Amino acid sequence: MNRVACVTGADRGLGLHLVGSLLEKKYTVFAGQYMKDSKALEELKAQYPGSLRLIPLDIGRTGSVKEAARSIAGSTGHLDLIINNAGIIHRADDATVLVDMDDEAMAQLYNVNTLGALRVSNALMGLLLQGRQRLIVNISSEAGSIGRNKRINMYGYCMSKAALNMQSSLMHNHLRVMGGQVMVFHPGWLQSYMHGEKNMEAPVPPEDAAEKIMAIIQNHKRYLADEPAYIDLDGNLWPW
């Protein structure tokens, strides 16, 4: 049976390179496309015309997720892998508790970073359970770790990632009795576009992170345990 994956936030950065890596490994990939025009995805589509499907997807909107799920279900009878990569940060979230906080910005972070991943996994669960791998990968952050937290700001982002980690635990408890698994990654400080422009101050190129994540995914059963694996790019366990 052909391996099939869905990746959210596939337009650029880590998501784009994860899609490319999956295609190289002979997966059929449904790439969640947030931006209407993505030259990089179109170039991949031209390179892998039979294996890459571009799916319009805004994980912050329930209607968009359901429409994407219907489109995917119309093209395949199963999914082996869901990678919830899409996420956002917000400049207003830099505030500490000593100043006024932007609760609307924090709600937006929670809606995308936490509920967005849940919407996608929920909408695609029927297809995932028809696959062999039955693996969900949630791209989280060190910001979601309570045990190693040293921050005094970014309340919305940190709380949204901690909530994503709890979501992962709940889903893993359910999936593992059905032969499935959830993995949670801290991908490092990435050269990402989360501020709109590529952050070149960050030390980790997205292509390097994608390569390491895919290497771990290929051996995902090694990390199967009662709780989901919360790990960094080197496979080191992180405290919840």
Question: What pLDDT is attached to residue 37?
Answer: 84
Q: Is residue 97 part of a domain?
A: yes
Which range marks the domain in which residue 165 is found?
A: 4-232
Q: What is the per-residue pLDDT across 50-77, written as a single tens digit (0 to 9) for each?
A: 999 999 999 999 999 999 999 999 999 9
Weakest mean pLDDT among 19-23, 87-91, 123-127: 87-91
- 239 in a structural domain: no
Confidence at 188, pLDDT banded by 50, 70, 90: confident
Identify whether 141 is part of a domain: yes
Confidence of residue 195 (pLDDT cuts 50, 70, 90): low
Using pLDDT thresholds of 50, 70 and 90, give the confidence band for residue 190: confident
Residue 80 lies inside a defined structural domain of this protein:
yes
- pLDDT number for residue 204: 81
Say whether pLDDT at 14 is over 90.
Answer: yes
Number of compact structural domains in the chain? 1
Determine the distance from the C-alpha atom of residue 190 to the mean position of all C-alpha atoms in its chain, rounded to a whole number.
Answer: 14
Question: Does residue 11 form part of some domain?
Answer: yes
**Quick one: average pLDDT of 139-158?**
97
In this prediction, residue 209 carries a pLDDT of: 95
For residues 17-40, average pLDDT? 95
- Average pLDDT for residues 189-210, to the nearest whole number? 73
pLDDT > 60? residue 92 = yes
Q: Does 168 reside within a domain?
A: yes
Helix 117-128 to helix 62-73 angle, to the nearest 10 degrees? 20
For residue 240, tell me if it sits in a domain. Answer: no
pLDDT at 179 over 90: yes
- Three-state helix/strand/coil letters over the chain: CCCEEEECCCCCHHHHHHHHHHHHCCCEEEEEECCCCCHHHHHHHHHCCCCEEEEECCCCCHHHHHHHHHHHHCCCCCCCEEEECCCCCCHHHHCCCCCCCCHHHHHHHHHHHHHHHHHHHHHHHHHHCCCCCCEEEEECCHHHCCCCCCCCCCHHHHHHHHHHHHHHHHHHHHHHHHCCEEEEEECCCECCCCCCCCCCCCCECHHHHHHHHHHHHCCHHHHCCCCCEEEECCCCECCC
Mean of the per-residue pLDDT values of the chain = 95
Assign residue 19 the CATH number of its domain. Answer: 3.40.50.720
pLDDT digits (tens, 9 = 90+) for 97-136: 999 999 999 999 999 999 999 999 999 999 999 999 999 9
pLDDT at 24: 97
Q: Which tokens in the block code for residue 212?
A: 């390491």
For residue 54, the one-letter residue type is L
Residue 36 within any structural domain of the chain: yes
For the four alpha carbons of 157, 160, 166 and 167, in that order, the dihedral sign comes to: negative
